[in-house]
């Protein structure tokens, strides 16, 4: 009886210990997860939006003076939601949104590898909640998973060339979230020297910015899924009249940037977001202008950046087979049928060559032959977008990174088609081939996909999450051959570009898409002096 009570007491205090952590910023209480043996610390604030200038740098969050109850991850930053299931108002959000979630496996280990995941969403939508990025598949491998919100749209990515809004505020939010993790994760049982950052799509593009910034590096590894900072359109010129224009559209006419700023700082975020969405503003990162007393996050075009922080970094990165098939199902479909226009506008995001008709003709001949418009060559347009927007810039970046000292770059090609291919399932895509976002369904749970995968899909989840978490733990996705992973995935070398094809089987292939990549190698070599952003 007595022994039993002592054991019960021990068990209780043990559980309590794991739910309550004591960090540098105060004590934080979590909740047990209901879909696995791990604890969730939800909605921990890591920074604060400056109410006088919500478009500018975020400010530190004060320490907690009593236990912070990390029970609620429902806040998202102001946005028009895209993956929006159900009716009602697609706008949602609040400026008090700079929160992160920490998912900690319920195990004895005290130096767990840590994965900080950055969601994608074209800089204007996205959120960190569990219904989109559930950690169940990853935490089984004894790694801590962190997801977080960063500011989006005008609040995160307005680039005005003024010291108050130099641009890339959302990147600074991300940096602060990663720093919070570095400084506090030990209290959760994490190893601050074993941090992997990663992301998908614009999340990967921004993750790549953390490789290229001159700020001190806060992590040891990076996972870039279908995105790099060199993707066309990811970095754009600043828009010095944005504040004045948006203020005017909301009904405040002024010629003075600072008057527009004070007006918009007080305006309801819902009005600001709905207005910028209505007028189809697109938000991007920019190359910041330098100002006294303002530290830039990015001060050169990523295409030309050597990356002073890349040495010794491990990188795992890759793409799907037909990244842009989804565009045939997206709202921009009609535009796709105007193939010449899309070639021209996409090219313009990267090169000042839109008016060089001979150059456009060569690209047209390469992808479309003599066809020019319409349904007839929509798949060829998709091939162009897949190569120019994703595969080429990413592979080019990986080859560049692999030249750094002690840097291991592992490249993958995801071509497995099961029931969890996220974008294919979302749009009910019937064409063969995997598209953008498809691999995410085998890494995170998401509420519109089956939560009990079939045997084949579960096997794929086990393989992919083991590869990914091996990389987080050891810097190498296949340190040993096992029944689950009967393969050795080699990194890029000075003259080879191996790639793990993740299909029904795992196969090491070499230099994927090499013909098209060679076309773009020649193209870049000929036109690198005509980049549209310097």
Ligand X SMILES: *[C@@H]1O[C@H](CO)[C@@H](O)[C@H](O)[C@H]1NC(C)=O
Would you tell me which residues interact with ligand X (CB under 6 A)?
A: 50, 52-53, 56, 59, 72, 74-75, 164, 253-255, 352, 354-355, 427-428, 504-505
Query: What are the residue ranges of helices labelled H in 108-220?
Result: 136-139, 153-157, 169-184, 202-212
Nearest to 29 by CA among 2, 75, 64: 64
Q: Could you say which of 58, 128, 201, 415 is catalytic? A: 201
Residue 13 among the catalytic residues: no
Q: Shortest distance, CB of residue 506 to ligand X, whole angstroms?
A: 9
DSSP string of 75-108, one letter each residue = ---SEE-SS--SSS--EE--S---EEEEEEESSS
- Sign of the CA dihedral 49, 53, 58, 62? negative
Task: Decide whether 255 or 455 has the Cβ nearer to ligand X.
Answer: 255
Q: Shortest distance, CB of residue 255 to ligand X, whole angstroms?
A: 4
Task: Decide whether 255 or 358 has the Cβ nearer to ligand X.
Answer: 255
Task: Decide whether 254 or 407 has the Cβ nearer to ligand X.
Answer: 254
> Exposure string (b/e) for 50-83, b if CB count within 10 Å is 16 or more?
beebbbbbbeebeebeeebebeebebbbbbbbeb
Q: Shortest distance, CB of residue 160 to ligand X, whole angstroms?
A: 12
Query: Residue 494 is encoded by which pair of tokens?
Result: 């000075």
Which H or E run contains 516?
A: helix 514-527
Q: Shortest distance, CB of residue 457 to ligand X, whole angstroms?
A: 15
Task: Decide whether 252 or 379 has the Cβ nearer to ligand X.
Answer: 252
Q: Shortest distance, CB of residue 407 to ligand X, whole angstroms?
A: 31
- Collapsing DSSP to helix, strand or coil, 119 comes out as coil
Catalogue the E-assigned strands of 106-242.
112-118, 144-148, 190-200, 221-225
Q: Shortest distance, CB of residue 70 to ligand X, whole angstroms?
A: 11
CA–centroid distance for 464 within its chain:
18
Separation CA 73–CA 128 (nearest Å): 8
Task: Decide whether 107 or 505 has the Cβ nearer to ligand X.
Answer: 505
Can you name the residues that pair with 53 across neighbouring β-strands?
A: none
Q: Is the CB of residue 497 less than 8 Å from the CB of residue 222?
A: no
Calculate the alpha carbon distances from 454 to 406, 419, 420, 457, 459 in Å. Answer: 40, 8, 10, 5, 9
Task: Decide whether 260 or 316 has the Cβ nearer to ligand X.
Answer: 260
Neighbours of 348 (CB within 10 A): 15
Catalytic residues: 201
């Amino acid at each position: 009886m007595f022994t039993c009570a002592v054991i019960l007491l021990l068990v209780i205090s043990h559980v309590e210990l794991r739910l309550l952590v004591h960090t540098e910023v105060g004590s934080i209480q979590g909740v047990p997860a209901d879909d696995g043996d791990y604890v969730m610390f939800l909605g921990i604030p890591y920074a604060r939006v400056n109410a006088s200038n919500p478009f500018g740098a975020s400010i530190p969050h004060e320490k907690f003076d009593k236990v912070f109850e990390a029970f609620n991850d429902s806040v998202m930053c102001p946005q028009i939601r895209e993956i929006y299931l159900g009716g009602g108002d697609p706008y949602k959000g609040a400026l008090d949104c700079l929160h992160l979630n920490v998912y900690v496996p319920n195990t004895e280990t005290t130096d767990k590898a840590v994965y900080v995941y950055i969601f994608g969403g074209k800089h204007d939508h996205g959120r960190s909640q569990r219904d989109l990025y559930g950690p169940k598949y990853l935490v089984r491998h004894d790694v801590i998973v962190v997801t977080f919100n960063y500011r989006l749209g005008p609040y995160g990515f307005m680039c005005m060339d003024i010291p108050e809004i130099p641009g890339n505020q959302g990147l600074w939010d991300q940096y602060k979230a990663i720093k919070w993790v570095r400084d506090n994760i030990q209290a959760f049982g994490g190893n601050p020297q074993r941090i992997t950052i990663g992301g998908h799509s614009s999340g990967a593009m921004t993750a790549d910015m953390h490789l290229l910034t001159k700020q001190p590096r806060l992590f040891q590894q990076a996972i870039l899924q279908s995105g790099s900072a060199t993707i066309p359109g990811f970095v754009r010129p600043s828009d010095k009249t944005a504040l004045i224009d948006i203020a005017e559209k909301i009904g405040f006419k002024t010629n003075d940037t600072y008057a527009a700023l004070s007006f918009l700082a007080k305006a309801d975020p819902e009005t600001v977001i709905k207005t910028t969405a209505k007028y189809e503003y697109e938000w991007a990162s920019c190359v910041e202008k330098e100002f006294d007393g303002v530290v830039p996050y990015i001060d050169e075009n990523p295409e030309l950046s050597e990356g002073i922080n890349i040495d010794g970094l491990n990188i795992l990165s890759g793409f799907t087979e037909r990244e842009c098939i989804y565009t045939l199902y997206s709202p921009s479909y009609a535009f796709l049928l105007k193939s010449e226009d899309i070639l021209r506008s996409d090219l313009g995001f990267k090169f000042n060559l839109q008016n060089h008709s001979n150059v456009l003709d060569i690209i047209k001949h390469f992808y479309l032959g003599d066809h020019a418009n319409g349904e007839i060559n929509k798949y060829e347009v998709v091939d162009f977008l897949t190569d120019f927007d994703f595969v080429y810039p990413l592979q080019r970046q990986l080859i560049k990174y692999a030249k750094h000292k002690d840097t291991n770059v592992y490249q993958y090609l995801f071509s497995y088609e099961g029931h969890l291919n996220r974008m294919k399932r979302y749009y009910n895509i019937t064409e063969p081939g995997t598209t953008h976002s498809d691999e995410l369904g085998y890494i995170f749970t998401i509420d519109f996909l089956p939560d009990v995968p079939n045997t084949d899909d579960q096997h794929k989840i086990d393989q992919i999450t083991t590869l990914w978490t091996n990389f987080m733990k050891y810097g190498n996705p296949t340190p040993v051959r096992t029944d689950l992973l009967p393969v050795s995935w080699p990194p890029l070398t000075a003259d080879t570009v191996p790639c793990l094809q993740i299909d029904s089987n795992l196969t090491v292939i070499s230099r994927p898409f090499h013909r098209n990549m060679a076309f773009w190698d020649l193209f870049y070599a000929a036109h690198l002096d005509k980049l549209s952003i310097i």
